[in-house]
Chains A and B, each alone.
Chain A
Amino acid sequence: MDHLTELENQSVYILREAYKNFKNLAMLWSIGKDSTVLLWLARKAFFGHCPIPLVHIDTSYKIPSMIEYRDKYAQEWGLNLVVGQNKKALAEGMNHEKGRIICCEALKTQGLSQIMEQEGYTGLILGIRRDEEGTRAKERYFSPRDKNFEWNFKDQPPELWDQFKTTFAEGTHIRIHPLLHWTEINVWEYIEREEIPIIDLYFANKEGRRYRSLGCAPCTGSIESNAKNVREIIQELKNTSTAERSGRAQDQEDTYAMQKLRARGYM
């Protein structure tokens, strides 16, 4: 079995475990390449259907074409799309100038927490990967969060032989990470193999720049690149030694920024 098929089969297995074990499940769709691949895998797992609602956290600072892309495919693929937004924080004028970590927590973490409470979700599927950064490398496929949304990274459940944590105390919810074992290149190779339509912000524009990782417009930097299609992106990645999230300003805010953000419920 080739490597991509192996990755695919493992992710499908995890998605089916999640769907069977949790009644109120949602999947986060950030419009980026990872969660779009995740959505594709869900349709593989459920034979063309996505029986799980997709949550998009709209910080209002997203790059506009992301919203266009989202609405187009939500309709075309018949998705159950739920949009969450921390309207209170936005009304009070929250933006990245108040501090990137503060802004991420208000608009993303809190926005997510609000929609989860409103919809009563007890499980959330996310497209994070171990190779993105150090704290994600220590994640579990099924990772519990307590009622304050916190990740107790010092006491994670054991996970062996694909037996996942599916029972938990009242008030906790579970984060499920079916793409944990993929790398950035795997994601692009899979997009190429499956011909998954992907937002064009990832491809180089006329000025010779493209996004490698997508987020809010003020905090996401583009990179210099001539990669105009998936094949060229894969070639470029094979020859780079720059980290994927180096264009994401919040990661660089503090040495342990990601750990702090993620301990409090960030994706």
Chain B
Amino acid sequence: MRLVIVGHVDHGKSTLVGRLMADTDSLTTGKLDFVKNICDQQGKSFEFAFLLDALEEEQKQGITIDASQIFFKTKKRPYVIIDAPGHKEFLKNMVTGAANAEAALLLIDAYEGVQEQSRRHGYILRLLGMKQVAVVVNKMDLVDYDPEVFYKIKSEYTEFLKSMDVEAREYIPVSAKLGENLAKRSENMSWYQGPTVLEMLDQFEDKVPEINQPFRLPLQDVYKFDGRRILAGRVESGKARVGDTIIFSPSNKRGVIKSIETWKVKKEPKTIEASHSVGITLTEQIFVERGDIATLADDPPIVTTTFDASVFWMGKKHLKKGESYLIKLTTQKVECEVIRFNKAIDASTLETLPDQDFIAKNDVAELTLRTRQPIAFDLFNTIAETGRFVLVDEYDVCGGGIITGFTPLSEIDRIRDEARYRDSHWIQGAVTPDMRAYRYGHRAAMILITGKAGVGKAGLAGHLEEKLFHQNFQSYLLDGRNIQVGLGADMDQEKYFSEGEALRRFGEVAKLFVDAGHVVISTSNVFNQEDHSNISLLVEPAPIVEVQVTDDKFPRGKPEIVLTVDEAAEHESAVQRILDYLKEEKILTGHNYSI
């Protein structure tokens, strides 16, 4: 059981841990003598805290700088105790300690009462999803073991926790220094009937791997060893077995588990399940990579770019709206920005900071994030492991957060859902894309010629179609207008565009041509830049090549080829450039791969 000790600076966390170690005979003789010597040298009485605060600066200043982890044992089970620093300055070390724990003891000094970090640490524990918390009121010897003091702190802190829907498991009055109510029951506090600290620890429940949750396997890496292509990763929840069909998000690929790979195990496993680091192979070779989350086909994660989260910030610079950060969620790593601060909060008082479009170090916020590319996740309340993330600013992890909400609002989310549904229900014929590519001498692709009206897109597109045709390639010029007059004839013209049907129907028709192995050419004047990414979503995984005709210094978006209006007017050379690009990208491979 991993247990973290948190609370305000000087409320006696390290002393409590040191004392617990000593009272449970968990120390090596060397260690006790070692600390005794240091204390003698510094003319101090025995400091239990020095058992953990091993750094010279920590001992000289009497504070904990970084979280320490030590091991001890009760009759029931072994423990790892994480002693977190209480200084505001070292919050990131407290978070590091607490994020890895299964239960927490929060210390409050009876003499000083509830302080800034008592509240901040309480809030952070909640954000980290900590469910097992006991509050320890320390230094009762300094207040003459007065029950009044204890009950006052208890009611004040209970109210604080209640304001964020948390309930402590227990409140325990102790004197860590004198070892009262830690391992031994205190004679001075006979008015207290509850468990001692040690008894409390044994009441916490071990975290069990979430094998009954939906299956989630984020890919860490893909290895090629001994002729096998092994997908490696750790199962974060649920379980799967050989023969199961899995889908990968956000890439939307599908595969069937062929084998579970191991090295030197006594018994070959039949299933892979939560918290195991595993390797699998698939029956077919598909291109998936680090970041993809494998799930069972009927229970995929959410895939989107925009979601709500609660975030705590540890960076030296503020977390600001509109700035670019990296989000790391499972093994995904994507650029993102805060598009809205829904509520900025001072974590030491839980007061809302009104009209603030940033948060400073040590504060927390409820906000909306948008990622540059779609990412796959679950809500934190559904599956914690795939619902939490960190934010990286420049080189450093500066924040952490949990995903609290998601509303599939935008057009792109709707189209993505459609593409996912369609792909997972698509019926594949006996002729594969590879067979078509071999026969036709090229892979399927979509070439979008973009630019303002009157720059000569149509002429260029027509020439390109013709040229490809004469070289025996399957080319087809798909005009959005032709789809509107036929497939779109059931709709009012205005609604056809405003409701996104123009784009959707165009994209789906293009998808069919692409599936038939063609090079589809289009000059969609009617679609804007944003629509292009929607079209590519519908046409995926076929490549999209954008040829932009413009005299602007900076083209819009990221076109693969940019032509000036004059260049585009020279059809022969312009078409040649496009053909060269298609060969370079191995889209045009030549008949029977002979070119």
Residues of A within 8 A of B (CB): 1, 3, 5-6, 9-10, 12-13, 16-17, 19-20, 43-49, 130-131, 133-135, 137-138, 140, 153-154, 156-161, 163, 165, 167-169, 181, 183, 194, 240-243, 246, 255-256, 259
Q: What are 20 pairs between A and B in contact, CB < 8 Å?
A: A9-B276, A13-B234, A43-B264, A45-B277, A47-B279, A137-B52, A138-B68, A140-B96, A157-B92, A158-B95, A159-B96, A160-B96, A160-B99, A161-B388, A163-B328, A242-B29, A242-B30, A243-B29, A243-B30, A259-B55
In the complex, chain B residues 222-270 whose Cβ is within 8 Å of any chain A Cβ: 223, 225-226, 230, 232, 234, 261-264
Given A16-B232, A48-B263, decide whether A158 and B93 contact each other with a Cβ distance below 8 A. yes
Given A137-B68, A138-B66, A165-B397, decide whether A154 and B38 contact each other with a Cβ distance below 8 A. no
List B contacts of A46 (CB < 8 A).
223, 225
Query: CB distance A161 to B99 under 8 Å?
Result: yes
Query: CB distance B264 to A194 under 8 Å?
Result: yes
B64-80 to A contact mask, C-beta < 8 Å, 1/0: 01111111000000101
Chain B residue nearest to A144 in the complex (CB): B395
- Name the distance in Å between A130's Cβ and chain B's nearest Cβ: 5
- Name the distance in Å between A234's Cβ and chain B's nearest Cβ: 14
Chain B residue nearest to A244 in the complex (CB): B28
B201 at the interface (CB under 8 A from A): no
- Name the distance in Å between B204's Cβ and chain A's nearest Cβ: 16
Residues of B within 8 A of A (CB): 25, 27-31, 37-38, 41, 52-57, 65-71, 78, 80, 92-93, 95-96, 99-100, 128, 209, 220-221, 223, 225-226, 230, 232, 234, 261-264, 275-277, 279, 290, 314, 326, 328, 385, 388-390, 392, 394-397, 400
Query: CB distance A167 to B392 under 8 Å?
Result: yes
List A contacts of B80 (CB < 8 A).
181
Q: How far is the CA of A44 from the CA of B226 in the complex (A)?
A: 15
List A contacts of B234 (CB < 8 A).
9, 13
Query: CB distance B28 to A134 under 8 Å?
Result: no
New A-B contacts (4) at CB < 8 Å, excluding given A130-B69, A134-B68, A161-B400? A5-B276, A153-B65, A169-B395, A259-B56
Q: How far is the CA of A267 from the CA of B398 in the complex (A)?
A: 27
List A contacts of B65 (CB < 8 A).
138, 153-154
Q: How far is the CA of A192 from the CA of B290 in the complex (A)?
A: 34
- Name the distance in Å between B63's Cβ and chain A's nearest Cβ: 11
Query: CB distance A134 to B388 under 8 Å?
Result: no
Given A158-B92, A161-B390, decide whether A20 and B27 contact each other with a Cβ distance below 8 A. no
Query: CB distance B30 to A131 under 8 Å?
Result: no
Residue among B66, B326, B392 with the highest chain A CB neighbour number at 10 A? B66
Residue among A158, A169, A194 with the highest chain B CB neighbour number at 10 A? A158
- Name the distance in Å between A131's Cβ and chain B's nearest Cβ: 6
Query: CB distance A242 to B28 under 8 Å?
Result: yes
Query: CB distance B397 to A243 under 8 Å?
Result: no
List A contacts of B25 (CB < 8 A).
241
Query: CB distance B27 to A241 under 8 Å?
Result: yes
Chain B residue nearest to A183 in the complex (CB): B71
Q: Which residue of A12, A135, A161 is within 8 Å of B277 (Cβ)?
A: A12
- Name the distance in Å between A42's Cβ and chain B's nearest Cβ: 10
Chain A residue nearest to B230 in the complex (CB): A47
List B contacts of A135 (CB < 8 A).
54-55
List A contacts of B78 (CB < 8 A).
3
- Name the distance in Å between A145's Cβ and chain B's nearest Cβ: 14
List B contacts of A153 (CB < 8 A).
55, 65-66
- Name the distance in Å between A99's Cβ and chain B's nearest Cβ: 19
- Name the distance in Å between A49's Cβ and chain B's nearest Cβ: 6
List B contacts of A43 (CB < 8 A).
263-264
Q: How far is the CA of A140 from the CA of B96 in the complex (A)?
A: 9
Q: How far is the CA of A130 from the CA of B55 in the complex (A)?
A: 14
Q: How far is the CA of A44 from the CA of B37 in the complex (A)?
A: 43
Q: How far is the CA of A9 from the CA of B276 in the complex (A)?
A: 6
Q: How far is the CA of A236 from the CA of B393 in the complex (A)?
A: 49
List B contacts of A133 (CB < 8 A).
54
Given A137-B69, A167-B392, decide whether A255 and B263 contact each other with a Cβ distance below 8 A. no
List A contacts of B96 (CB < 8 A).
140, 156, 158-160
- Name the distance in Å between B300's Cβ and chain A's nearest Cβ: 22
Query: CB distance B397 to A47 under 8 Å?
Result: no
- Name the distance in Å between A135's Cβ and chain B's nearest Cβ: 5
Query: CB distance B275 to A1 under 8 Å?
Result: yes
Query: CB distance A156 to B221 under 8 Å?
Result: no
List B contacts of A13 (CB < 8 A).
220, 234, 277
Chain A residue nearest to B94 in the complex (CB): A158
Chain A residue nearest to B28 in the complex (CB): A243
Q: How far is the CA of A112 from the CA of B588 in the complex (A)?
A: 51
